[in-house]
Structure 1
Amino acid sequence: MFTGEEVTVKLRVDSSIEEYVYRAFPTAQKINVYKGKYTIFDVKVLGMDGILFWILGQQDRVKVISPEELRNKVKDIIFRMTKIYK
């Protein structure tokens, strides 16, 4: 699987896919629920490659709150993807 330093990732997740967070990250901790629309999770991972792939697979249902490095990686990949489809 993926390796690296332990990182805590804070995610804003659409409530419709909350179950998928627990399937992918069984130790995820729910921080807050906002009006049943989305949930904030803290997820501990080793390195960021695995969670990066997972986030991109969830389309627009997940937003990275922190760390900033991961937010920037997601933005960069999305930017490069939009160039492919122009």
Structure 2
Amino acid sequence: MSDPLLPVLLAVPVVVLACQAGGRAVRLLGQPPVIGEILAGTLLGPSLLGWLAPPSSSTSCRPRSCPSPPPWAPSASWPSCS
């Protein structure tokens, strides 16, 4: 049985290091570090990582449960969890 905390403990240092590296890189370009941190988060997130490396993304960005739609969203526009 695998420990559910292990992926989190492995992902946190990766995210922190990537954000620090992104912040330093954009600071060299004269931009505030938060821009690089946001870019690093976008690159590590399921949108780009899932497109480039689906097996890696499915391991690190697993959905825990199906989200429920907000009250103002039409039910036809919300994806179902089937």
TM-score when normalising by structure 1: 0.23
Q: Could you say which structure has the larger radius of gyration?
A: 2
TM-score when normalising by structure 2: 0.24
- Of the two structures, which has the highest relative contact order with CA contacts closer than 8 Å and spacing of 6 or more? 1
Higher strand share: 1
Higher helix share: 2
